[in-house]
């Protein structure tokens, strides 16, 4: 029975990684297109842009999904090795 529990856990990790990677495929280009132009701007300009809800949401969602994807990947790496 324990082998089946391990298989189920692996499947859930695989699904989570696939979902987060598909989300990142969409989020990263959106992040680069919307946030990229403000790199190199003065601090006031960057803060004014990030105070707008849509830009703040894009940054928050991209970083959250990216960090969750990273966490899941590291967890699988540690479990495997």
In order, the DSSP letters of 43-79 are HHHHHHHHTSHHHHHHHHHHHHHHHHHHHHHHHHHHH
pTM over 0.85: no
pLDDT of residue 79: 82
pLDDT at 33: 96
The rounded average pLDDT for each run of 10 residues, N- to C-terminus, in the chain (81 residues) is 56 85 96 93 94 96 96 87 80
- 3-state secondary structure at position 40: coil
Q: Residue ranges per domain, the chain? A: 2-80
Q: What is the pLDDT of residue 68?
A: 93
Q: Do residues 24 and 66 lie in contact, with contact meaning Cβ atoms separated by under 8 Å?
A: yes
């Amino acid at each position: 029975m324990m082998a089946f529990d391990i298989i189920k856990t692996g499947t859930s990790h695989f699904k989570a990684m696939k979902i987060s990677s598909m989300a990142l495929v969409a989020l990263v280009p959106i992040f680069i297109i919307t946030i990229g132009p403000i790199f190199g701007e003065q601090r006031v300009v960057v803060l004014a842009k990030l105070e707008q809800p849509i830009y703040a949401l894009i940054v928050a969602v991209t970083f959250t999904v990216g960090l969750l994807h990273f966490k899941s990947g590291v967890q699988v790496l540690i479990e495997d090795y």
